[in-house]
Amino acid sequence: MESKHLVYLSIVLEKGSITAAAEHLNIAQPTLTRAMATLEMQAGAQLFTRSRFGVSSTPVGESLAREGRAITRRLDSAKEQVSQYKLGIKHNLRIASGSLLSMEILPIIIEKMLEKHPEIAITVTCLNPSIALEGLIDDQFDIIIAPQSTDKITSTLHRELIIRDKIGIFCGKNHPLASEKHIQNRDFIEQDWLSLGIASYFEKQTTEMLTSYGIHGMKTKVIFRNDAMMLIKMLSTGRYLAALPSFPVSTIQKHYPIIEIKMNDVTPINRDLYLWCTKSLKDYTAYLSFRNIVRSVFDDLSKSNEVEKIEGK
């Protein structure tokens, strides 16, 4: 079993398709397909399943992909150590969050952290929350901001609630449903949707929420793999709908003509946000300082949102 094949598998699962992985790895698609077939033969089990939305890992595939990510991480760590040495960096804090949080909230947090701790350098990564949690478990990150994923609970992680949140349905201000006062389930029939990703716990949770609302078989026109900026810009055109966490969207509504569609007699799905780190880090000064800044920024943004709601009435 070749180590590079394990790395290839981890990239296939991360990118969601053989084609995207081959492009990322800069190798021919047939070469990658043969490598995956060889690895499956050696493992004696199927490594992933295919659908029109991409590939999803099997338990065996996920286990081997984790080994591939560990190999990549060790190589990247060695390269990073060399780069930091050349740049004169002595203390580096590795942070990850989703792309929506990174549009408005995370830059404020980082700026305040650098002001308080100028001796620290920060590496920021935008990832799907499920992948970020896996990265924290695998020691790719020190701190992440992400919702709770029931399939990623581990005794080695420490988490603290930052803010209660929920999933909402959003559209541009000139979307046909934006001005509707009494929206029914049938109003969503034949509407075009945008999505931030699929095949993770959080996206499945969103699908279940829409199904509970009586919204079945929605037409997802574009899937943005961890790129909130493009999604928000397309959503602003008024031609699409998207199910997104409410609080991060509320912080960018002053910049983009987006509104949340209010639905009566439905129970929203919670998407509470947490601050995560390993238990070994939770008493360190860097984490405690970062936590205090995060709480302060979220509190300030929450108060600002409330003021804007009152003034808008």
Do 53 and 100 fall within a single domain? no
**pTM for the full predicted model:** 0.70
Strands (E), the chain: 48-51, 54-57, 91-97, 120-126, 143-147, 157-163, 167-172, 192-195, 219-223, 241-245, 258-261, 273-278
Tell me the β-bridge partners of 43.
none
Do 154 and 291 fall within a single domain? yes
**Whether the predicted pLDDT of 109 surpasses 60:** yes
Q: What per-residue confidence (pLDDT) applies to 103?
A: 94
Do 38 and 52 fall within a single domain? yes
**pLDDT digits over 242-263, tens only?**
989 999 999 999 999 999 988 7
Do 133 and 174 fall within a single domain? no
Tokens, residue 161: 């609630």
Is 207 part of any domain? yes
Q: What per-residue confidence (pLDDT) applies to 304?
A: 81
Is 79 part of any domain? no
Q: What per-residue confidence (pLDDT) applies to 203?
A: 66
142's enclosing H/E stretch is none
DSSP codes, 169-188:
EEEETTSTTTT-SS--GGGG
Do 279 and 135 fall within a single domain? yes
Is 267 part of any domain? no
Do 150 and 25 fall within a single domain? no
**Residue finishing a domain among 40, 71, 102:** 71
What is the chain's mean pLDDT, rounded?
Answer: 85
**Whether the predicted pLDDT of 17 surpasses 80:** yes
Q: For residues 226 and 276, which has the higher predicted lDDT (pLDDT)?
A: 276
Is 269 part of any domain? no
Which of 243, 201, 246 has its CA nearest to residue 101?
A: 246
**pLDDT digits over 39-90, tens only?**
888 988 888 888 877 888 888 988 899 888 888 878 877 776 666 555 444 5
Do 147 and 284 fall within a single domain? yes
Do 288 and 159 fall within a single domain? yes
Report how many helices (DSSP H) and strands (DSSP E) the chain contains, helices first.
10, 12
CATH of the domain at 159: 3.40.190.10
Q: What per-residue confidence (pLDDT) applies to 83?
A: 63
Is 58 part of any domain? yes
Tokens, residue 103: 């549009």
For residue 13, what are the contacts with CB-CB under 8 A and spacing of at least 6?
48, 55, 57, 61, 62, 65
Query: Residue 148 sits in which domain range?
Result: 90-163+275-312
**Residue finishing a domain among 18, 39, 71:** 71
Is 83 part of any domain? no
CATH of the domain at 14: 1.10.10.10
Do 98 and 37 fall within a single domain? no
Is 232 part of any domain? yes
Give the pLDDT band of residue 238 (cuts 50, 70, 90): very high
Q: For residues 78 and 146, which has the higher predicted lDDT (pLDDT)?
A: 146
Q: What per-residue confidence (pLDDT) applies to 201?
A: 57
Q: What per-residue confidence (pLDDT) applies to 309?
A: 57
Above pLDDT 90, what percent of the chain? Answer: 36
**Whether the predicted pLDDT of 114 surpasses 90:** yes
**Whether the predicted pLDDT of 155 surpasses 70:** yes
Do 185 and 216 fall within a single domain? yes
Q: What per-residue confidence (pLDDT) applies to 199?
A: 46
Q: What per-residue confidence (pLDDT) applies to 120?
A: 85
For residue 141, what are the contacts with CB-CB under 8 A and spacing of at least 6?
94, 95, 96, 125, 132, 135
